[in-house]
Amino acid sequence: MDKQTFKLGLFLMLVAALAALALASINGMTAPIIASNEQIALDAAMSEVYPSSSSFVDSYADYSDSIPENIVGLAIAEVDSTPAGVVYIVENGGYGGTIKLMVAFDIQDKVITGLRILTHNETPGLGANAKTSWFNERYLDVDATNELRVVKTEPVNPDEIQAITAATITSRAVTDGVNIARAHFLENF
């Protein structure tokens, strides 16, 4: 190896080390801000799916022995410091990858109080419609004591959820995620 190649290699290594150091420093400064913003977004989503709650208490660790692997978050919704509902975060496989959803249940009435898709990679214009309010509202006030089923036509039974046209896999993935949370809810609340 000649002297010029060695100098160039040493220079590139120095530039790469400085760039890595700068990125690590910036990441260290922005990580708390990012985490804070993510928590604010999560709190807003919980307030959306269980709007009557005054506070949410992270209770995932309290139920860790009985939680299926698809459930990645669990919070108790409190009204005037009394447990009133349960909010679950569930990850389930959809058509385009993992669908992360939040679903809430009312403890007293045993109904779904809200559903929100947090993240997905579903097909735009088809499965991506699972994030729309008109689809999420199909789950609103549905009795949680019965397992939900996806149907392709207008529902005739209270346990049926109409699939999104041309996105049955996505509709089933969302409904299966709700059913996973529903089963844990009924066993524990």
- Interstrand relation of 160-162 and 149-151 (parallel, antiparallel or unpaired): parallel
Identify residue 171 by its one-letter amino acid code.
S
Distance CA 65, CA 178 (A): 20
In sequence order, the 6+-apart residues with CB closer than 8 A to the CB of 76 are: 56, 57, 59, 83, 85, 86, 87
- Interstrand relation of 149-151 and 82-93 (parallel, antiparallel or unpaired): unpaired
The pLDDT tens digits along the chain (189 residues) read 688 888 888 888 999 888 888 888 888 888 888 888 888 888 889 999 999 998 999 999 999 888 999 999 999 999 999 999 999 999 999 999 999 999 999 999 999 999 999 999 999 999 999 999 999 999 999 999 999 999 999 999 999 999 999 899 999 999 999 999 999 999 999
Q: What is the DSSP letter of 128?
A: G
Partnered with residue 79 across adjacent β-strands are: 82
Residue burial 130-144, b: 16+ Cβ < 10 Å; e: rest: bbeeebbebbeebeb
